[in-house]
């Protein structure tokens, strides 16, 4: 594809529901990142993958958040038992290597009601 693709673009979840957000990075990109962007804020780092290895999950706000990238390409961010404070735009980005330019997807806007 032409860029990083995220789905769904919008998700409304009832409080307590589990959600799964998908990211298709640019083909061949080794590094993949997830960021969370709350309303009126800049993106905040959640987690980083190098190929299939999750090398940094220091930004995940709680153990309800889980990310995986089992085959080193597509990644899924899962949020269990969603809470209202989880409402945000979730951005995925990929880059050829860890310290090169990151290309962002359009994001998934999650609203927890």
Give the Cα separation of 26 and 28 in Å (integer).
6
Residue indicated by tokens 């640019």: 26
Judged by CB under 8 A, the stretch of 20-28, 43-51, 60-68, 78-86 that binds other proteins is: 43-51
CB nearer to other proteins: pick between 63 and 101: 101
Binding mask 48-87 for other proteins (x = CB under 8 A): x-------x-------------------------------
Residues 6+ apart with CB under 8 A from 108: 6, 7, 8, 9, 10, 11, 21, 89, 90
Residues forming the site for other proteins (CB under 8 A): 3-4, 31, 33, 35, 40-45, 48, 56, 91, 95, 98-99, 101-107
């Amino acid at each position: 594809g032409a860029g990083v693709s995220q789905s769904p673009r919008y998700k409304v979840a009832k409080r307590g529901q589990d959600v799964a957000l998908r990211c298709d990075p640019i083909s061949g990109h080794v590094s993949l990142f997830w960021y969370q962007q709350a309303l009126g804020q800049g993106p905040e780092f959640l987690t980083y993958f190098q190929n299939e290895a999750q090398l940094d999950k220091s930004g995940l706000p709680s153990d309800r958040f889980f990310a995986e990238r089992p085959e080193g390409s597509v990644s899924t961010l899962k949020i269990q038992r969603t809470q209202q404070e989880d409402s945000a735009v979730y951005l995925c980005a990929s880059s050829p290597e860890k310290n090169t330019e990151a290309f962002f997807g359009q994001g998934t806007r999650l609203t927890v009601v």
